[in-house]
Amino acid sequence: MIDRRLLTNIDWILAGLVVTVCLLGIMNIYSATTPYKMVGTAYFIKQFYWMLAGMTISMLVCSIDYHLLEDLSYWLYGFLILLLLVVLLVGRSTMGATRWLDLGLFNIQPSELMKIVIIITFARFFNNYHSVGGLTVGDVLFPLGILALPAALIMKQPDLGTAILVILIALSMTFYIGPRWTTIVTFICVTIPVAWIGWAYLLRPYQKNRVLDFLNPERSRLGSGYHIIQSKIAVGSGGIAGKGYIQGTQSQLRFLPEQHTDFAFSVFAEEWGFVGCLVLIILYLSLVLWGLNIARRCNDRFGGLLAVGVTAMLFWHIVINMGMVIGLFPVVGVPLPFFSYGGTSMITSMVGIGLLQSISMRRFMF
């Protein structure tokens, strides 16, 4: 059972920020799906259920002493690698991608859960490693191997967006520890030929087209460039104060693709304009800064690394999704945390919040 002393230390600021963004997301999903004729339970109601399920899981996670995860980290890593292999063998395929495991009552996406596991695994490694003068090239070889295997398996599905996120989370935690300049230069020199090989031999044609359409959306106005063009129209037409709730023409006339998932922010921007976007960005910025504050106040290295990893996960989700819908980044299918429709994304993000709560609540205990 949870220690009663911990209940008095619940981080209400963290909880309030998350619930506020979730409720805004549900409201936005209702608007985004209004033009569609629904069969069965509406998306916004499903998202509400996922929010409740996520909050329940988050409370269970925060009731567990996060120090226990350090001993379980490599076991969790091995289990998730096994699940990623199983996905490639017997996973459910949707729109040309094999990312899901069908468990009967529900489906799971192991690549989403790997984000949390890579955070825990890197936190354990760096917690037990103490360098003098910064990380050398030799120091980062083992964590690089830890990262490369799941990233390769996720790319194989293929799921470029999640693979990029896993890599960015790991790199963020590595930079938090502090590599030497020689390590950074070496990494850049190695990355350039690796990126070329990835472009030439690993990326699927549709993934290459997304990058090319990002550079020039006009080359495929009715193809993959259509997403970027319609999204930028939606965001730009919102103006200062927006067109009003459920009044966006791009979403209500169904010009905007995936408007309740990857492009949910475009719907919000069109309806609420610059003012609404500013409010949402301030909420997200507050969430990220509060996560870093939890890391700063943590009394032990492992907890601080966990907090940095979770905060990095949320940060990169936010930056990539918002950058994607306004044409700053290619379309890679990254959802906006707590805002875009999706059960697995909600659960993964809520597990991260549970870890932050666990760290914040226990800072007075040690």
Q: What distance in Å separates the CA atoms of residue 337 and residue 288, rounded to the nearest whole number?
A: 12
Q: Helix axis angle, 225-237 relative to 205-215, nearest 10°?
A: 40
Residue 315's pLDDT is: 98
pLDDT at residue 325 is higher than 80: yes
Question: For 224-235, how does the pLDDT look when each residue is reduced to its tens digit (9 = 90+)?
Answer: 677 788 888 999
Which residues are CB-neighbours of 275 under 8 A, at least 6 positions away? 240, 241, 242
Choice among 1-10, 143-152, 196-205, 254-263 with the minimum mean pLDDT:
1-10
Choice among 18-22, 68-72, 307-311, 331-335 with the minimum mean pLDDT:
331-335
Q: What distance in Å separates the CA atoms of residue 44 and residue 253, rounded to the nearest whole number?
A: 19
Q: Exposed e or buried b for every residue in 211-248, given b needs 16+ CB within 10 A? A: bebbeebeebeeebbbbbbbbbbbbeebeeebbeeeeb
Residue pair 334/344 in contact (Cβ under 8 Å)? The answer is no
Residue 209's pLDDT is: 72
Residue 265's pLDDT is: 94
Alpha-helical segments (H) within 203-263: 205-215, 225-237, 249-252
Q: What distance in Å separates the CA atoms of residue 351 and residue 178, rounded to the nearest whole number?
A: 27
Question: For 92-110, how does the pLDDT look when each residue is reduced to its tens digit (9 = 90+)?
Answer: 877 667 788 877 777 788 9
Residue 107 token pair:
């489906």
Query: Considering the chain, what is the average pLDDT of its residues?
Result: 88
Q: What distance in Å separates the CA atoms of residue 239 and residue 237, rounded to the nearest whole number?
A: 5
pLDDT at residue 303 is higher than 70: yes
User: What confidence tier does 214 reach under pLDDT thresholds 50, 70, 90?
Assistant: low
Within 10 A of 106 (CB to CB), how many other CB atoms are there? 10
User: Can you tell me the mean pLDDT for 131-147?
Assistant: 86
User: What confidence tier does 134 reach under pLDDT thresholds 50, 70, 90?
Assistant: confident
Diameter of the chain measured on Cα atoms: 61
C-alpha pair distances (Å), 121 with each of 76, 261, 302: 8, 29, 10
pTM over 0.85, yes/no: yes
pLDDT at residue 2 is higher than 90: no
Among 141-145, 198-202, 213-217, top mean pLDDT goes to 141-145
pLDDT at residue 35 is higher than 80: no
Sheet containing strand 97-102, edge to edge, reads 92-94, 97-102, 107-108
pLDDT at residue 212 is higher than 90: no
Question: For 255-290, how does the pLDDT look when each residue is reduced to its tens digit (9 = 90+)?
Answer: 787 788 889 999 999 999 999 999 999 999 999 999
